[in-house]
Structure 1
Amino acid sequence: MIELRPFDSLGGANHGWLDTKFHFSFADYFEQSRLHWGALRVWNDDHIAAKSGFPPHPHKDMEIITYVREGAISHRDSLGNEGRTEAGDVQVMSAGSGIQHAEFNLEDEDCRLFQIWILPDKDKLGREPSWGAKPFPKDDRSGRWVTLASGRDGDNDALPINADARVLGATIKAGETLDYDLGGRKGYLVPATGKLEIGGQLVNTRDGAALADIDTLSVTALEDSEVVLVETA
């Protein structure tokens, strides 16, 4: 099953400094059919103006993955962690028993990112909060999937999360096809750039594709594309 969610059908809000689109119910946007996809709870497409950002605010028991597409975002939290995550890189915050954080675009250019929230496994609720970031150069993803964040055994090179899920990235050249073994698990895929064909359906830049009951996912790039995929139970 492939449920296409065109970009124009997404919820959203424009606060001036933040122009955002919601793939799932979030804030004042509610859509019963888009509450979650497996353990995937939030996928926000954020455009953050230069010299602005999210002031300190709390979270609890959520795995929050930030995939920076353009510009950079600077993080600070109540654990004393500070870091700057640039385009092509990923940061992960496990909110666990509770954490406060702020995310600011301190740059002279706008920042565009995907903010992805995944529910932790029930037996991993209330763990110590943590934060980490890692560079994942796009060249390393050319023609292959790279696991960016994971709670699955064996994904030792990925940033750890407390969920039975993976966040993957890939760049695919026009005309190439890239397969992924979903094994019947749920998937949610968004092309950050480019245009794809999946199961006969066209997936344009920043559209969402909710995937279920698929053993092998085949993604064909109609244009050079940068793709983000979440696999979850």
Structure 2
Amino acid sequence: MLTIRKSEDRGHADHGWLQSRFSFSFAEYHDPAHIHFGPLRVINDDYIAPGQGFGTHGHKDMEIVTYVLEGAVAHKDSLGNAGNIVPGEVQRMSAGRGIMHSEFNPNVGQRTHLLQIWIIPDRTGGSASYEQKAYDASEKRGKLRLVASPDGAEGSVTIQQNARMYAGLFDGDESATHTLAAGRLAYVHVARGAVTVNGVALNEGDAVKIENEASVRIDKGSQAEVLLFDLPPLQ
């Protein structure tokens, strides 16, 4: 079963320096039909104005993945980590029993476009931790590259949940098929461009929830960048 989530149907916030689209309920946006999908709790599509950002704030008991599409994010946290996240890199922050951090657009002449992703962990408490890795475009071209997993497989960042996140680039005749184990869910988000997922055409910002399917096929891309989440069942 496929359930389409159109970009224009997502929540929206305009803070001037920050333009956000919310795929799931977040902050003032609440939609009982879109609270979470399996442990996937947040996909925020954020555009941050030059020199602006989120001041120091805290998180607890959440796996937070940052995926930058344009520009850069300057990160600083209470563990002592500091640096920029740029396109091609994936940052993972396990909040554990608590972490403080800030995120800013360090560029004075360019906006930042990022996806902030929250995944509910399979255990609470524990120590906060941080990880950041780069993946070349060639690793994602016409394929799904594993970038987050529970065991750090294939050089992915490690998350505390039985979920896997893949990133892929698709254009023209490029295609990929991902097999789902029995009972698993999939969520595909089109970060940019256009693509077809299991025969359904999706555009930038669109997504599809996939249940009771044996596989996910991605094809007919037009300068598409896609994230696929392989998730345990809904709780």
Class of the TM-score when normalised by the shorter of the 2 chains? over 0.9
2:97/2:127 contact within 8 Å kept: yes
Contact (CA 8 Å) 1:175, 1:221: kept in 2 or not? yes
More displaced 10-residue stretch of structure 1: 97-106 or 208-217: 208-217
What's the C-alpha RMSD, in Å, of the aligned pairs?
1.2
The residue that corresponds to 2:143 in the other structure is 144
Alpha-carbon offset, residue 9 of structure 1: 0.4
Contact 1:194–1:221, Cα closer than 8 Å, also in 2:
no
Report the Cα distance in structure 2 between the residues aligned to 1:148 and 1:102, rounded to whole angstroms. 23
Q: Is the 8 A contact 2:186 2:209 kept in 1?
A: yes
Task: Note the residue ranges of structure 2 that are not aligned, 5 or more in a row.
Answer: none
Counterpart secondary structure, 2:12: strand
Q: Residue 169 of structure 1 aligns to a residue in which SS?
A: strand
CA offset at residue 65 of structure 1? 0.2
TM-score by length of 2: 0.94
Counterparts of 2:208 and 2:47, CA distance in 1:
21
Which residue number in structure 2 is paired with residue 30 of structure 1? 30
Q: Distance in 2 between matches of 1:2 and 1:173?
A: 23
| Cα separation, 1, equivalents of 2:18 and 2:38 | 27
User: Paired residue for 1:130?
Assistant: 129
Q: Distance in 1 between matches of 2:154 and 2:87?
A: 22
1:88–1:138 contact (8 Å) kept in structure 2: yes
Question: Offset of 1:43 from its aligned partner?
Answer: 0.5
Counterpart residue identity of residue 193, structure 2 = G
Contact 2:180 2:230 in 1 (8 A): yes
1:154–1:11 CA distance, 2 compared to 1 (3 A): closer
Distance 2:114 2:140 in 1: 18
Over the matched positions of the two proteins, sequence identity in percent amounts to 39
Contact 2:146 2:154 in 1 (8 A): no
The residue type equivalent to 2:63 in the other structure is E
Question: Which deviations, in whole Å up to 9, do the C-alpha atoms of 1:162-220 show, x marking residues without a partner?
Answer: 11111110111213321001224111111222211223321111111111111111111
Offset of 1:154 from its aligned partner? Answer: 6.4
1:68 alignment counterpart: 68
- Contact 2:178-2:216 at 8 Å conserved across structures: yes
Structure 2 residue identity aligned to 1:131: Y
Ranges in structure 1 where 5+ consecutive residues have no aligned partner: none
Q: Which residue of 2 aligns with 1:114?
A: 115
1:65 alignment partner, SS class: strand
Alpha-carbon offset, residue 54 of structure 1: 0.4
Length, aligned pairs only: 230
Normalising to structure 1: TM-score of the pair? Answer: 0.95
SS class of match (1:139): helix
Q: Which residue of 1 aligns with 2:16?
A: 16
From 163, 166, 169, the equivalent of 2:164 is 166
Letter in 2 for 1:117: W
The corresponding residue for 1:187 is 186
> Alpha carbons of 1:67 and 1:154: their partners in 2 closer, same or farther (altered >3 Å)?
closer
